[in-house]
Amino acid sequence: MDSFQNRASKDEPLTRRDILARLARGSVILAAVTGLLVFLRVPIPSSLRERTLIRVGHPDQFPFNTFTFVPEKNLFVYRSREGFKALSALCPHLGCVITSMGDGFRCPCHGSTFDSRGTVLAGPAPKPLSWLKVGVAPDGQITVDASERVSEEQLLRV
């Protein structure tokens, strides 16, 4: 280290060894900062980071008594005779996208299974699937607020 300080004070050019040492230190610092950012981000699901109002389509696009998967938004829209409800398709375990199966749902990543109400039947999921707030846009499209959780009983009457 003393030889480096002596060279820097005499305005001598840096050696290849000095340059590689600086690059190595910079790489270690960059890796540590990146690791810290990833560590801080993991506990917060992506769907909770921002308020998102999603337009999912017009009411006539959804058949009665069926969960319709909206893949680009990772949610299911359910239409009954009484109205509309929306269910998050993100598994509460680690955020994998669930799939519909018969009268419930299954997480393909770790095997959690849920009934049609979103209640955990088996697997590592720590809590039920989230029901999301449903509304109507001025143009008549059904909207889902992915940042607002509601009870299963709450639905949009149309």
Q: What is the pLDDT of residues 43-73, one digit of tens each?
A: 665 544 455 788 999 999 999 998 999 988 8
At residue 39, the pLDDT reads 78
| pTM confidence score | 0.65
User: Going by C-beta distance under 8 Å and a sequence separation of 6 or more, which residues neighbour residue 144?
Assistant: 53, 54, 56, 73, 75, 77, 86, 132, 133, 134, 135
Question: Is a pLDDT exceeding 60 seen at residue 7?
Answer: no
- Whether residues 91 and 132 fall in one domain: yes
- Whether residues 69 and 37 fall in one domain: no
Per the structure, how many domains does the chain have?
2
Inside any domain, residue 158 = no
At residue 79, the pLDDT reads 93
- Whether residues 68 and 120 fall in one domain: yes
Residue 153: pLDDT band with limits 50, 70, 90: confident
Distance, in Å, from the CA atom of 45 to the CA atom of 61, rounded to the nearest integer, reads 29
Residue 5: pLDDT band with limits 50, 70, 90: low
Question: What percent of the chain clears pLDDT 70, i.e. is strictly above it?
Answer: 87
- Whether residues 62 and 34 fall in one domain: no
- Whether residues 77 and 142 fall in one domain: yes
- Whether residues 83 and 114 fall in one domain: yes
Q: What is the pLDDT of residues 82-122, one digit of tens each?
A: 999 999 999 998 889 998 888 899 999 888 999 989 999 99
For 21, the domain range is 2-41
Question: Is a pLDDT exceeding 70 seen at residue 2?
Answer: no
Residue 6: pLDDT band with limits 50, 70, 90: low
Helix, strand or coil for residue 33? helix
